[in-house]
C-alpha cells in the first residue's frame, strides 16, 4: 500500500495558496544522488510555522541527508529548499542564526569543558551578543540540566550528557526553528521525557520544531504534524490527526453463526469479509458500526462480541515503509 504524500490542509486551501511565508521549511523536488543511487528523491516537505513536525522513517531512509541539505551542509543534486522563507544556501547567513540544529549526534571538542564548548559555538555566531554570552550559556546549560557538570571536560560526559549539551547548543540564542535529528538517541527514559518537555516548551514559545526519529512512539505524542520517509521518498505527510484517521477501520463479530453473520455484513456492503472460527472480520467503509449491530440483531444472528478496530499509527507506518522501522538496505 502506498499512499500519496498529502498536503496539510491549512496551508493548501484555495483562498490561501501555499507560500513560503507560511512555511517554516519548504522543499521542492529535493533530490540527492550519491553515485547512481538516490538517497533522497523528489522531496516535497511542507512544515507549517508553529508546528511540531515529526520526521519519521527507518534508519537509512534519507532523513539525515535531508537535514544536511536543509542546513546547507550538503548540496542537493536538484531541487530547492528554504527555511523560514529564506533560500538555502544563498540566504543561509541571515536565516541560520535563527535556526538551532542538532545534526547526527553531538560533536564537541573533547578536551574543553561543556561550558567552553558552548562558548566556542557562541563566539562563532556573528549575531550573538558577547555581553550576554555567559548568562545565555548558563541558561542553556540549566535548561538541559547540565549546569552542575558545566566545567567537566566533554570527554568525561556520558552519551546522555553529550546529547544534552548538543541540545543546549541549539537553544543558546532565540530560535524560530529547531531542527533536531534524533534528539533522544542515547537518552534513558527519563532523559527522553525531559527532551519531550523541552520540545513542548520551545513550541510553546512559538518556535517551529522539526524533529527526526526512527521511533514513532517517541515523537507521536508531541507532534502536530508527521512526515514519513521510506527509501528516500516522502510517503506520507500531514497533520497527525489526519494521518491517524486515515487507516481503515475494521470490525470483528464474535458469533456462533459466522456464516449467517457474514451474509448480513455482505448485505450491508462491508468489504473484505472473512469468515473464521467463531468470528467474522470485515472492512465497513462508510457503514456505521451501529447499523451493522442493528442488522445482525434484526437477522437473529447471535452476537457474543462486536469490536471496531482502528489501526494504530504504528500499523500505518509499517504499511507505508513496508518494513517497519528496521534498517533499509
Site residues, other proteins (CB under 8 A): 68, 71-75, 92-94, 96-97, 99, 101, 103-112, 119-121, 123-130, 132, 135-136, 139-140, 142-143, 169, 171-175, 205
Nearest approach, Cβ of residue 307 and other proteins (Å): 47
Q: What is the DSSP secondary structure assignment for residue 134, as one 8-state letter?
A: H
Question: Beta partners for 113?
Answer: 153
Nearer to other proteins, 110 or 272 (CB): 110
Residue carrying C-alpha cell 449491530: 293
Q: Name which of 127 and 291 has its Cβ closer to other proteins.
A: 127
The Cα-based distances of 169 to 56, 121, 184 in angstroms read: 23, 7, 15
* All residues at 6 or more sequence positions from 328 whose CB lies less than 8 Å from its CB, including other chains: 58, 59, 60, 61, 230, 231, 321
At residue 14, φ and ψ (nearest 5 deg) are -70, -35
List all residues 6 or more positions away from 197 whose beta carbon is below 8 Å from its beta carbon: none
Task: Compare residues 125 and 242 and give the one whose CB is closer to other proteins.
Answer: 125
Q: Cβ 39 to other proteins, closest distance in Å?
A: 10
Residue 189 CB, nearest approach to other proteins (Å):
25
CB of 144 or CB of 264, closer to other proteins: 144
Q: Judged by CB, which is closer to other proteins: 44, or 128?
A: 128
In whole angstroms, the minimum distance from the beta carbon of 87 to other proteins comes to 14
Q: Which of 200, 218, 220 has the alpha carbon at shortest distance from 209?
A: 200
Query: Nearest distance from residue 59's CB to other proteins, in Å?
Result: 16
* Shortest spacing between CB 24 and other proteins, in angstroms: 16
Query: Which of 133, 268 has the CB closer to other proteins?
Result: 133
Instruction: State the minimum distance, in angstroms, from the CB of residue 136 to other proteins.
Output: 5
Check whether the bond before 89 is cis (ω within 30° of 0).
yes
Instruction: State how far the Cα of 203 lies from the Cα of 223, in Å rounded to an integer.
Output: 10
Considering beta carbons, is residue 142 or 288 the nearer one to other proteins?
142
H helices within the chain, ranges in order?
9-12, 63-70, 92-95, 114-124, 133-143, 159-170, 189-204, 216-219, 240-244, 258-267, 289-298, 313-321
Integer CA distances (angstroms), 297 to 255, 287, 293, 303, 308, in order? 11, 16, 6, 8, 17
Minimum CB distance to other proteins smaller for 174 or for 249: 174
> Smallest distance, Å, CB 33 to other proteins?
11
Q: How far apart are CA 198 and CA 145, in angstroms?
A: 11
Question: Residue 185 phi/psi, 5° resolution?
Answer: -55, 130
Amino acid at each position: 500500500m502506498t499512499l500519496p504524500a498529502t498536503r496539510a490542509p491549512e496551508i493548501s486551501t484555495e483562498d490561501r495558496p501555499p507560500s513560503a511565508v507560511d512555511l517554516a521549511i519548504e522543499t521542492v523536488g529535493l533530490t540527492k544522488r550519491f553515485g547512481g543511487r538516490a538517497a533522497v528523491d523528489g522531496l516535497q516537505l511542507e512544515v507549517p510555522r508553529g508546528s511540531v513536525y515529526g520526521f519519521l522513517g527507518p534508519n537509512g531512509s534519507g532523513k539525515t541527508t535531508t537535514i544536511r541539505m536543509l542546513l546547507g551542509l550538503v548540496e542537493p543534486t536538484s531541487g530547492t529548499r528554504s527555511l523560514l522563507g529564506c533560500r538555502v544556501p544563498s540566504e543561509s547567513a541571515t536565516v541560520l542564526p535563527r535556526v538551532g540544529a542538532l545534526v547526527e549526534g553531538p560533536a564537541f571538542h573533547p578536551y574543553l569543558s561543556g561550558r567552553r564548548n558552548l562558548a566556542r559555538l557562541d563566539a562563532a555566531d556573528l549575531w550573538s551578543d558577547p555581553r550576554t554570552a555567559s548568562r545565555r550559556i548558563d541558561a542553556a546549560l540549566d535548561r538541559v540540566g547540565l549546569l552542575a557538570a558545566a566545567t567537566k571536560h566533554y570527554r568525561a560526559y556520558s552519551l546522555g550528557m553529550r546529547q544534552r549539551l548538543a541540545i543546549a547548543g541549539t537553544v543558546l540564542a532565540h530560535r524560530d526553528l529547531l531542527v533536531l535529528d534524533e534528539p533522544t538517541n542515547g537518552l534513558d527514559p527519563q532523559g527522553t521525557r525531559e527532551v519531550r518537555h523541552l520540545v513542548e516548551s520551545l513550541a510553546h514559545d512559538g518556535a517551529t520544531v522539526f524533529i527526526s526519529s526512527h521511533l514513532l512512539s517517541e515523537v507521536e505524542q508531541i507532534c502536530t504534524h508527521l512526515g514519513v520517509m521510506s527509501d528516500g521518498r516522502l510517503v506520507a505527510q500531514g497533520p497527525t490527526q489526519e494521518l491517524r484517521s486515515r487507516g481503515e477501520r475494521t470490525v470483528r463479530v464474535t458469533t456462533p453463526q459466522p456464516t449467517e453473520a457474514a451474509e448480513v455484513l455482505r448485505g450491508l456492503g462491508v468489504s473484505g469479509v472473512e469468515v473464521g472460527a467463531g468470528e467474522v472480520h470485515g472492512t465497513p467503509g462508510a457503514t456505521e458500526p451501529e447499523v451493522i449491530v442493528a442488522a445482525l440483531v434484526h437477522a437473529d444472528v447471535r452476537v457474543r462480541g462486536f469490536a471496531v478496530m482502528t489501526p494504530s499509527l504504528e500499523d500505518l507506518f509499517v504499511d507505508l515503509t513496508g518494513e517497519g522501522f528496521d534498517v533499509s538496505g
